[in-house]
Amino acid sequence: MDTFIQDTPIVFIGAGNLATNLAKAFYRSGFRIIQVYSRTQASAAALAGAVEATYTTEISEVRDDAALYVVSVKDDALIELLPDIVRGRKRGLLVHTAGSIPMNILKDKTERYGVFYPMQTFSKQREVDFKSIPIFVESNSAEDTCLLRAVASILSEKVYEATSEQRRYLHLAAVFTCNFANHMYALAAELLNKHNLPFEVMLPLIDETAEKVHQLTPAQAQTGPAIRFDRNVMDKHLDMLFDEPRFKEVYKLLSESIYELANKNSSANSTTK
């Protein structure tokens, strides 16, 4: 079964961060990638070379004999390219990899369509282990859903079916978990740099904070002055940010949110006891 699935000819449309990591993961797992499309020759050639595929920068030259088309481009590019992608290629299964775009954007455009969404942060410069990455699949048919589950299961040990509505909230939660958390690191780095301190001193704290939520819920792992509503410490911190109104606003907003969530959880726990 796996050998049959892995012999499926695959075309990648896109060569960005996600497409690069996903295509390489497919390749390392024995899948046969026959072509890579990207608007830029350098990106298309680099990814195609890494997975032993041909490449093109013309959407009209994308092969029509693939069984699976993985479209991994920016949201606006997906909408723009979609009519050209499906033209003459309606026999293959077409999936997009976007967290925030519903599957039904492909409805009436092609016969077989779905979503293949690996939920992780990706960079071309850093390879990740797909075995631990949750992959969420969806399709317009039970047969193709089973196919996508089988494909995903070769890459990852964590495969789930999720509706477009569920995936929207997955993507939103991921923005809070990853993008916003990383922005806090960027603000911390800016603050430290201003006072001639290296960001690397934060790394053990970052690692332990991330490690804790493997054993505790995020609410249980929360520490700091805000959860205690230690006004003395918080006021001092706000005074220190007198020349950084942006930092000050973020500090106030997050501190209030931490305290409110702690109170909400405390009240809920009291009610259930």
**Per-residue pLDDT tens for 229-242?**
999 999 999 999 99
Determine what percent of the chain is predicted with pLDDT higher than 90.
Answer: 83
Shared domain for 14 and 144, answered yes or no, is yes
Q: 3-state SS string over the chain?
A: CHHHHHCCEEEEECCCHHHHHHHHHHHHCCCEEEEEECCCHHHHHHHHHHCCCEEECCHHHCCCCCCEEEECCCHHHHHHHHHHHHCCCCCCEEEECCCCCCHHHHCCCCCCEEEEEECCCCECCECCCHHHCCEEEEECCHHHHHHHHHHHHHHCCCEEECCHHHHHHHHHHHHHHHHHHHHHHHHHHHHHHHCCCCHHHHHHHHHHHHHHCCCCCHHHHCCCHHHHCCHHHHHHHHHHCCCCHHHHHHHHHHHHHHHHHHHHHHHHHHHHC
Please give the Cα distance from 217 to 33 (Å, whole number): 40
Looking at 145, 162, 179, the residue that finishes a domain is: 162
Quick check: 114 and 93 in contact, CB under 8 A?
yes
Shared domain for 39 and 132, answered yes or no, is yes
Indicate if the pLDDT at residue 82 is higher than 70: yes
User: What's the domain range around 109?
Assistant: 2-162
Please give the Cα distance from 222 to 44 (Å, whole number): 44
Place of tokens 């048919």: 141
Shared domain for 129 and 43, answered yes or no, is yes
Tell me the pTM.
0.86
Please give the Cα distance from 61 to 56 (Å, whole number): 7
Place of tokens 């699949």: 137
Q: CATH number, domain at 18? A: 3.40.50.720
pLDDT digits (tens, 9 = 90+) for 151-163: 999 999 999 999 9
- Residue type for position 71: V
Mean pLDDT of 191-203: 97
242 φ/ψ angles, rounded to the nearest 5 degrees: -60, -30
Per-residue confidence at 272, pLDDT binned at 50, 70, 90? low
Indicate if the pLDDT at residue 2 is higher than 80: no
Indicate if the pLDDT at residue 29 is higher than 60: yes
Please give the Cα distance from 134 to 120 (Å, whole number): 8
Shared domain for 17 and 91, answered yes or no, is yes
What tokens appear for 241 in the block?
A: 């940010």
Mean pLDDT of 39-53: 96
Mean pLDDT of 157-183: 96
pLDDT for res 91? 84
pLDDT for res 269? 67
Per-residue confidence at 1, pLDDT binned at 50, 70, 90? very low
Shared domain for 49 and 113, answered yes or no, is yes
Q: How far is CA 135 from CA 47, 72, 158, 201, in A?
A: 21, 14, 6, 33
pLDDT for res 127? 87
Shared domain for 88 and 204, answered yes or no, is no
Average pLDDT of the residues of the chain:
93
Shared domain for 261 and 178, answered yes or no, is yes
Beta bridge partners of 70: 12, 95
Contacts of 20 (CB under 8 A, 6+ apart): 46, 47, 50, 122, 124
Number of domains in the chain: 2
Per-residue confidence at 245, pLDDT binned at 50, 70, 90? very high
Shared domain for 148 and 228, answered yes or no, is no
